[in-house]
Homo-oligomer: A and B are copies of this chain.
Amino acid sequence: MASPPLSLSLSIIFLLLSPLISSASSQPIIRLPTETTNRKSTVDGDDLYCSSWHLAVETNNAGSWKTIPTRCRSYVQDYMTGQRYTSDSEIAANFSLAHASSVEIGRDGKDAWVFDVDETLLSNLKYYEDRGFGSEIFDEDSFNAWVDLAVAPAIPASLKLYNEVKQMGFKIFLLTGRSESQRNVTAKNLLFAGYTGWERLILRGHSDEGTKATAYKSERRSELLDEGYRIQGNSGDQWSDLQGFAVAKRSFKLPNPMYYIA
């Protein structure tokens, strides 16, 4: 409680200051900013709306989107920089590990776990902090420049999971939407962040250009199946990492309210 989310702090301040608040609950639950009659309603309405919007993103109800809703900038910032993102990532990793532990690892070395890279193993929060946490349209040039720096840190819960499934004997496949031209910097960044011992790093080649993420990733997983691998688990922050065909026995959706990849 030393650093509660901004919206909660504001809620508490307004609770203490404003006698108007007790009448607010009879208002419609979802309000547009223009409909609100005081600052308190805006804060409350935005937080409730943005929580529901975020759930819709995480369940894929929201479908395709380009930028986060303007009113949700503070929500996404609070979420990504506060305890919730850490906690949600940890619980996702815990359920992944529980599943991994239930798999009887064969002696043939064909039990595989697929990880996406960005916002799954590596955090690009530093990049998105400077771009309104997803408020701005994705800019490929500046993102590629960030990728070239190879300084994205690990998501701690994912690094722990990665090491645990590797220790268990899973073969680890990294399946990323990054381009083949970014192979060296990507490997460099992964090592910098503490990831070692993957079986294969799979990136988009020339023939994958223009292919949607779901199709590209499904095709690559399908090739792993053709090689005799059993894809026991798949971790990704995008539904396009997890859906399509040749899906894993269990898929794990990591949180990401900042961007959407079709």
Is A3 engaged at the interface, CB distance under 8 Å to the other chain?
A: yes
Name the distance in Å between A47's Cβ and chain B's nearest Cβ. Answer: 10
Name the distance in Å between A80's Cβ and chain B's nearest Cβ. Answer: 14
Query: Are A52 and B95 in contact (CB-based, < 8 A)?
Result: no
Indicate how many identical chains form the complex: 2
Given A63-B99, A92-B61, A87 and B30 touching (CB < 8 A)? yes
Interface residues of A in 169-211 (CB under 8 A from B): none
The distance in angstroms between the C-alpha atoms of A98 and B62, with both chains bound, is 9
Query: Are B40 and A25 in contact (CB-based, < 8 A)?
Result: no
Is A78 engaged at the interface, CB distance under 8 Å to the other chain?
A: no
The distance in angstroms between the C-alpha atoms of A219 and B64, with both chains bound, is 28
Is A147 engaged at the interface, CB distance under 8 Å to the other chain?
A: no
Query: Are A255 and B55 in contact (CB-based, < 8 A)?
Result: yes
Is A250 engaged at the interface, CB distance under 8 Å to the other chain?
A: yes
Is A2 engaged at the interface, CB distance under 8 Å to the other chain?
A: yes
Query: Are A87 and B52 in contact (CB-based, < 8 A)?
Result: yes
Is A44 engaged at the interface, CB distance under 8 Å to the other chain?
A: yes
Total interface residues in chain A, CB < 8 Å = 49
Binds B, one of A11-19, A130-138, A221-229: A11-19
Bitwise, A246-262 to B at CB < 8 A (1) or not (0) is 00001111010000000
Q: What is the chain B residue whose CB lies nearest that of A54?
A: B55
Is A58 engaged at the interface, CB distance under 8 Å to the other chain?
A: yes
Given A29-B90, A95-B63, A55 and B58 touching (CB < 8 A)? yes
Q: Which of B1, B56, B83, B86 contacts A95 (CB 8 A)?
A: B56
A-B contact list, 26 entries, CB within 8 Å = A1-B22, A1-B24, A1-B25, A2-B21, A2-B25, A8-B11, A12-B12, A29-B86, A29-B87, A30-B91, A48-B83, A48-B84, A52-B88, A52-B91, A55-B91, A56-B88, A56-B91, A58-B59, A59-B59, A59-B92, A61-B91, A61-B96, A61-B252, A62-B95, A63-B95, A63-B250
**Interface set of A (CB-CB < 8 Å, partner B):** 1-4, 8, 11-12, 14-15, 21-26, 29-30, 40, 44, 48-49, 51-53, 55-56, 58-63, 83-84, 86-88, 90-92, 95-96, 98-99, 250-253, 255
